[in-house]
A and B are shown apart, each in its own frame.
Chain A
Amino acid sequence: MIRSHFLNLLIFSALVAVFFAFLTQSDAKDRVRVVLILGGSMVVLSLIIAYVMYPFPLR
């Protein structure tokens, strides 16, 4: 089992991005573009949200 938040985020983003790339696109270049944009957006936005939430207490 993977305990790293970041590694879980990377794996999850990659799998979802590949899934939607193949679901919505039929051209290889378009698929690569969707993987990069969708996967990258998920990772970057998650890090931004995590950064914004950092000052809030856990309890």
Chain B
Amino acid sequence: MSDTLVEQAAPGARSAAAPFVACFLAWLLPGLGHFYLGKKVRAAVFFAVVVIMFALGVGSDGAASLIEQRQPLTFLATFDNLATGPIDLIDRYLTYGSIVYSLPGEEGDPRRRELVERLRAKVRSVTYEYGNTFLLTAGLMNILLILDAFDIATGRKD
């Protein structure tokens, strides 16, 4: 059955703020932006897929990325983790025992040593690479969902 039968956009035009509300909701919880726009089937599927992907990442010892000034790619990885929305806090807390986004700059900093040691504990896991792949893919998926919600809200896509 097609979306045209199952999913119908909410009646009436939304306000000018709607695209940004949809984007914010899509970031807040995977699929929530589509739900807000009346695409309930898609919303349920997107929520399930992204949350399963995230849960597999956490369960497979994936680690939330930390910004390391000397490694530019860590900015991208951390941004990608943040794109999954508030659920990123779960993995961040499980990995580091606190909500932290960057490594302290000084090599001798005891806090830095503690964070690196916690990260190494994850890296030693045999499924670490799987977990990271799942976590990063969940983030990339949610970025696409945010952009898709924007396109639907602005009428570029049904």
A residues near B (Cβ < 8 Å) are 1-3, 8, 11-12, 15-16, 18-19, 22-23, 26-28
* Cβ proximity bits B50-67 to A, threshold 8 Å, 1 near / 0 not: 101100100111000000
Asked whether any CB of chain A lies closer than 8 Å to the CB of B112, the reply is no
> In the complex, which of the residues A19, A22, A26 contacts B4, with contact meaning CB atoms closer than 8 Å?
A26
Nearest chain-A residue to B158 (Cβ)? Answer: A26
Residues in A whose Cβ lies below 8 Å from that of B133: 12
Residues in A whose Cβ lies below 8 Å from that of B131: 1
> In the complex, which of the residues B50, B53, B60, B125 contacts A2, with contact meaning CB atoms closer than 8 Å?
B60
Contact status A19-B126, CB under 8 Å? no
Can you spell out 30 A-B residue pairs with CB atoms less than 8 angstroms apart? A1-B59, A1-B60, A1-B61, A1-B125, A1-B131, A2-B127, A3-B126, A3-B127, A8-B60, A11-B56, A12-B133, A12-B134, A12-B137, A15-B52, A15-B53, A18-B45, A19-B45, A19-B46, A19-B49, A22-B42, A22-B45, A23-B46, A23-B145, A23-B148, A26-B3, A26-B158, A27-B2, A27-B3, A28-B1, A28-B2
A15 to B46 Cα, complex, angstroms: 10
Size of the B side of the interface (Cβ < 8 Å), in residues, is: 28
Asked whether any CB of chain A lies closer than 8 Å to the CB of B144, the reply is yes
Contact status A23-B144, CB under 8 Å? yes
Residues in B whose Cβ lies below 8 Å from that of A19: 45-46, 49-50, 141
* Cβ proximity bits B133-158 to A, threshold 8 Å, 1 near / 0 not: 11001000100110010000000001
Known A-B contacts A11-B56, A15-B49, A28-B2; the reply to A2 vs B130 at CB < 8 A is: yes
